[in-house]
Amino acid sequence: MTYQNDSEVESEIFALVETIINLQKKYQNGEITDTFFQKTINNTYKELLKCHFRLKEKELLLSDILANMNIKIKYQKALDILTHGIISSSSEDMVPSPNTQKGSSVLALPGITLEITSAFITLMDILKLGSFNDTHLLQDIFEELIGNVNKFPGLEYIKVKLSRLREDLLKDKEKIVNDAIYREEVGKDLYLLFKEFHDKLNLKT
C-alpha cells in the first residue's frame, strides 16, 4: 500500500490501533481463542511495522499524526498489548538458533524489534524537528538503540554505524544543535540504517 494523502495514513493507523485494542478486549472476555488471538496479534504487529517504514519513506512524522488524531495514549496502549501478546506467543523462541532464517527474528524478538523501530523513528523525528537545546536526549536514545541492536542477531554492521554516529555526536555537540544541514545529514544516515533494518526483517511492503 502507498499513501496518497495524510488521511489515508491516519485511517490505517487508527484501524490498526482499534484492531489491537478490540482484539484484547475480546480475548479477555473469552470471545476468541488463544490461537486466534496470537495469530491475529502477530499479523497486526507486522502490519504496524510496515506502516512505520512507509511513514519514513514519505517523510511523515508519526508524532504529528498521533497528535492530529489525538490517539497518543491509545497508540501506546496498543504497543503494550502487542509486545505482551507476541512475547507470550513466542516465549519458547526468544533465543534464535544459528540456523534462524532471515526475517524470522521479527517474531522471536518482538519486544526488541518494537523498541528498535521506535528509537529509530524518535531519533529521526527529533533531528527533523530540531526542537532541542542540548544533546542529552539524543545520547540517551542512541544508547538505548545501540543496546537493543546489540541484542538482535545479524545487526553487527548497523551497530558499528550507529556507534560511529554517536561518537561524532559526542565530539561536536553544538553542531548537532545549531547546524540544520548537519542534522539533515545525520537523519539521512539513520534512515539508511533504518531501511537496512527493514530488509533484515524481510517485511514485504
Q: What is the C-alpha to C-alpha distance for residues 98 and 165, in angstroms, rounded to an integer?
A: 29
Confirm if 68 and 30 have CB atoms less than 8 A apart.
Answer: no
Residues 142 and 198 placed together within one structural domain of the fold:
yes
DSSP conformation class of 58: T
Residues 24 and 79 placed together within one structural domain of the fold:
yes
94 found inside a domain: no
Residues 77 and 114 placed together within one structural domain of the fold:
no
Domain boundary pick from 47, 62, 89:
89
Which pLDDT tens digit goes with each residue over 3-24? 455 678 788 889 989 998 999 8
195 found inside a domain: yes
Domain boundary pick from 67, 89, 111:
89
Cα three-residue angle 107-114-74, rounded to 5 degrees: 115
pLDDT for residue 97? 36
pLDDT for residue 110? 58
**Integer distance in angstroms from the first to the last C-alpha of the chain?**
7
Confirm if 176 and 138 have CB atoms less than 8 A apart.
Answer: yes
Kindly state the average pLDDT of the residues 58-76.
84
Which helix (DSSP H) or strand (DSSP E) does residue 123 occupy? helix 110-129
Q: How many domains does the chain have?
A: 2
Q: Could you tell me the CATH number of the domain that includes residue 183?
A: 1.20.120
Residues 41 and 17 placed together within one structural domain of the fold:
yes
Domain boundary pick from 45, 63, 89:
89
* Residue 195 pLDDT exceeds 70: yes
29 found inside a domain: yes
Residues 9 and 81 placed together within one structural domain of the fold:
yes
130 found inside a domain: yes
DSSP conformation class of 91: G
Kindly state the average pLDDT of the residues 187-192.
92
* Residue 90 pLDDT exceeds 50: no
Task: Please report, rounded to a whole number, the percentage of residues in the chain having pLDDT higher than 90.
Answer: 18
- State the average pLDDT for the chain: 78
96 found inside a domain: no
14 found inside a domain: yes
Instruction: Report which of residues 32 and 153 the model is more confident about.
Output: 32
pLDDT for residue 189? 94
Residues 146 and 169 placed together within one structural domain of the fold:
yes
Which cell numbers hold the place of 77? 496502549
pLDDT for residue 169? 86
Residues 43 and 109 placed together within one structural domain of the fold:
no
Residues 84 and 164 placed together within one structural domain of the fold:
no
125 found inside a domain: yes
- Domain extent, residue 14, equals 1-89
pLDDT for residue 164? 93
* Residue 41 pLDDT exceeds 50: yes
Q: Please, which pLDDT band fits residue 98 given cuts at 50, 70 and 90?
A: very low
Residues 74 and 110 placed together within one structural domain of the fold:
no
pTM of the model as a whole: 0.59
Which pLDDT tens digit goes with each residue over 110-141? 567 778 888 888 888 888 877 667 788 888 88
Residues 62 and 115 placed together within one structural domain of the fold:
no
* Residue 144 pLDDT exceeds 70: yes
18 found inside a domain: yes
